[in-house]
A and B are shown apart, each in its own frame.
Chain A
Amino acid sequence: MINVKVMAVLDLVSILQKREIAFSVEDGTTIRGLLEIMCSQYGPELEKKIYVDKDKELLNLNLYLNGRHIHFLGGLDAVLRNEDTVLLIPYASGG
């Protein structure tokens, strides 16, 4: 098993009821796998926040692995390592 940290901001915090959550997951778990675990724990409200579509391919938010956007790390199939931080940021704007 490996330990990963999930960090969320904006309205995800009220769904997760925490800004940071620690997860222990199987070795070789991908980001997609981690999101599945999270959705099974937090239900359809979270699922709706994460995915645009039923096939769960289109994301409704930005995901970062150790600060880098997952687009540059293999997307949802990026494999997690021990002590990784996964950051979830809902679409936002206005700076």
Chain B
Amino acid sequence: MISGGYTGKILRVNLTDKSYREEKLSEEVAKNYLGGAGFGLKYLFTEVPGGTGALDEGNKLIFAPGPLTGTKAPCASRVAVAAKSPLTGGAGVALSGGFFPAELKFAGYDILIIEGKSVEPVYVYINGTNVSFRSAKHLWGMKTSDCQRVIKDELHDQNIRIACIGPAGEKLSYMAAIINERHAAGRKGLGAVMGSKNLKAIAVRGNAEIAIADEKAFSEARRRMLQAMKESPVVYPEFSKHGTPMTVDVTGGLGIFPAANWSRTGEWIPFEALGIEGNNKRKSGREFCYGCPVGCSQNKLVREGEYAGYLSIPEFETIYSFGGETGVDNLDSVIAADYLCDELGLDSISTGVAIGFAMELFERGILTEKDTDGMELKFGNHRAMVEMVKKIAFRQGFGDVLADGTRIAAARIGKDSEKYCMHIKGLEMPGYDVRGAKAHGLSFATAYTGADHNRGYAFQEIFGVPVPYPVDRFAIEGKGKLTKWNQDMRAATCDSPLMCAFLLDMAVPGFAAENTADLVSSATGLKFTPEEVYQIGERINNLARVFNIREGLRRKDDTLPERLMTEPLKGGNSKGQYIPKNDLDQMLDEYYAERGWNKEGIPTRRKLESLGLNECIDTLEKIGGLKID
């Protein structure tokens, strides 16, 4: 029986008729899906019919923290946001941290399901069990920090936690993010889903305590995790001191820090400007998510020059997307662009990659100043890069062409531009040139959310962590098996309990499933073995796969951008590496076999039955022309 961790309640909010109701969380759903992404995907699959448009009223926006969120488990204040993604057309899941996730639990909810569409701009105020719908007409057009401030002022409560969209979400940019504090559920265009519902913000306040089923066992599990963090060679002081920008130096060293829309990876590595050296010069304090002792989020302040005064927390991915990807080695401008993304509500990865893509087209003469509103959109032009962020958010001029991501931009531009598009399933590539990290590449190709480093991070290849075994990053063989492990472990031990994923490879890689089983069992009173935890990860990935198949995605979509399959890297420590189509096919065959899927990547009946996913079998049987084994 559930006796802690979970609040046991779901809040369902309907924006069409401004109604809401509470539902009970079923123990079966908790046992099978754990929380977070698992809950989000389960409800998405069951409640959003196949073929629903991502921006249609029928799409739902689901916020789900996990059973550990709001407890004393370290680094667990995270929330998964799920909806059908406008960028990929498949299952969209993005995670965010900060304080909003814990507050949602304190308000009393394991899941918040937003459905329908308001006629006019609205925000939802959840104060414990009181839910009200308030006009957001006066907030429409506001930047995210202004929106949060104004709501706090008008509700006379500075401790309210708010998730909101900026102008990009209002204008339905497929790259729009949902921002809480300065954290983002950034990717897959979930901000556009929120905008399509005319929902500007969700303001949450609560003061319930999260019960713990077995205090003694929970504090022992917690102690073991904190000890592992202390003993980690990385968490203290390195990671808490430098944060994710360390990865610029690591990927630069490995020759896989993407440069100039991936055309010059390994040949141009701006270590000094964009790595920890440049970052440390601009350090200005750090931030902690609720209940996290690490505090990896490093504030960076521009102290002089034309971007003086800008302050943001540019993570590795943002330094890649506005730095390496656009050929810009001016970190101040990266900080400015990052700040603008947070304020205007854009995903910094997709936005930077869209700009880098346009820069390559400009360099190749496919675009000219006539197309770009007179801007010289060349690699390295930091002023144009920053200007483009604003234009995209407001859909001004050429910004409108890029506002829905590279895939749609290429279709609009034509002239064979698709071949310079760095996306998978419509989602722009994160900052790892996977020509030199093959399992990472296979995970990007097969992740249910598209090119997403967060669905199966191959830390064995990037950080040399030898768990579950050492991995040769250049090899093809064995990558199917490894990718399944990475994806299932990530879904089970990070995306669902919820737990900051940084801890998976830094502190608990050798006992991640045990760690989750012990923490969640003692918190909730439900019993999970490590094997059951791992299987939950597998169930989540299979459910998401069937969701995507229902939406028309197939083996052909498990692919890589053309450049990665045809152009070997020309410099750096991965020189000569690439992933020819045959190698990708070989990895895919192995991956599907490991997963118990057929050659087309369709889960077999046997596999789905073993995971208790009988509703997925029904779904597949209804799809015409599909071969199910």
Contacts and interface: CB of A to CB of B under 8 A. Distances in A.
Interface of A: 7-10, 13, 19, 60, 62, 64, 66-69, 71-72, 85, 87, 89-95
B472 A72 contact: yes
Contact of B246 (A60, A66, A93): A93
A91 B233 contact: yes
B249 A10 contact: yes
Contacts of A92: 234, 238-239, 246-247, 249-250, 463
B462 interface: yes
B305 interface: no
B436 interface: yes
Contacts of B463: 62, 91-93, 95
Contacts of A90: 238
B255 A94 contact: no
Given A7-B573, A67-B574, A87-B573, A94 B253 contact: no
A92 B574 CA distance: 19
Contact of A93 (B277, B459, B472): B459
A85 B250 CA distance: 16
Given A67-B574, A92-B463, 11 more contacts: A10-B249, A19-B271, A62-B463, A64-B573, A67-B255, A67-B577, A68-B472, A69-B470, A72-B472, A91-B463, A95-B462
A87 to B, nearest CB: 6
B133 interface: no
Nearest to B250: A92
Contacts of B244: 94-95
B472 A69 contact: yes
Give chain B's interface secondary structure class: helix
20 contacts: A10-B249, A64-B254, A67-B255, A67-B474, A69-B473, A71-B466, A72-B470, A87-B254, A87-B573, A89-B253, A89-B464, A91-B234, A92-B238, A92-B247, A93-B502, A94-B246, A94-B296, A94-B316, A95-B457, A95-B463
Interface string B294-310: 00100000000000000
Contact of B271 (A9, A62, A66, A72): A9
A94 B247 contact: yes
Interface in B433-477: 436, 453, 457, 459, 462-466, 470, 472-474
A13 to B, nearest CB: 8
A87 B208 CA distance: 52
A95 to B, nearest CB: 5
A89 B463 CA distance: 9
B189 interface: no
A89 B254 contact: yes
B432 interface: yes
The majority secondary structure among interface residues of chain A is mixed
Q: Which 8 A-B pairs have the closest CB atoms?
A: A62-B464, A67-B573, A94-B244, A9-B249, A9-B253, A91-B233, A95-B247, A93-B506
A95 B502 CA distance: 8
Contacts of B254: 64, 67, 87, 89
A64 B461 CA distance: 12
Interface in B248-263: 249-255
Contacts of B616: none
A91 B253 CA distance: 13
A76 to B, nearest CB: 14
Contacts of A10: 246, 249-250, 276
Nearest to B276: A10
Contacts of A87: 253-254, 573
Contact of A94 (B243, B275, B575): B243
Given A68-B474, A91-B238, A9 B466 contact: no
B505 interface: yes
Contacts of B431: 95
Nearest to A85: B573
A10 B317 CA distance: 18
Contacts of B239: 92-94
Interface string B551-579: 00000000000000000000011110100
A20 B573 CA distance: 13
Contacts of A85: 573
A89 B457 CA distance: 19
Given A92-B250, A95-B453, A69 B464 contact: yes
Contacts of A60: 233
Contacts of B459: 93, 95
Contacts of A72: 470, 472
Nearest to A66: B573
Contacts of B271: 9, 19
Task: Give the residue among B238, B252, B316 with the most A Cβ atoms within 10 A.
Answer: B238
B316 A7 contact: no
